[in-house]
Amino acid sequence: MSLLRTAARASVATRVIGNTHRRQQQRWAAQDAATPQSSPAPPTPQPVTPAPPAAAPAGSSVLDQLTQLGQLRDAGVLTETEFETQKQRILASA
């Protein structure tokens, strides 16, 4: 009799877990459908220490430096905060 009771409890537990899992999957699917899909998150870049603006080639204008900095940000090499920090550096040295 103990074996049957254990089997019954295991069956009920399995069913409860399955129902809970199915409900959670449905909730997640509804949330994914409700939120606008953006492009997949780019892989986290390795920490990069950008060269200081003084290391830019001679004759490079501030506009060229800012353009290169924007390209690095768009490529995902720089975060938004790193971009702003470097931009302020470039503008301060001009």
Q: Where are the chain's structural domains?
A: 1-38, 53-93
Which of 42-46, 60-64, 78-82 is least confident?
A: 42-46
Determine the average pLDDT of the residues in 18-29: 88
Per-residue pLDDT band for 58 (boundaries 50, 70, 90) equals very low
CB-count exposure of residue 68 (10 Å: 0-12, 13-18, 19+): middle
Per-residue pLDDT band for 85 (boundaries 50, 70, 90) equals very high
Q: For a pLDDT cut of 70, what percent of the chain falls above it?
A: 72
Per-residue pLDDT band for 84 (boundaries 50, 70, 90) equals very high
Alpha-carbon distance of 7 to 17, in angstroms, equals: 15
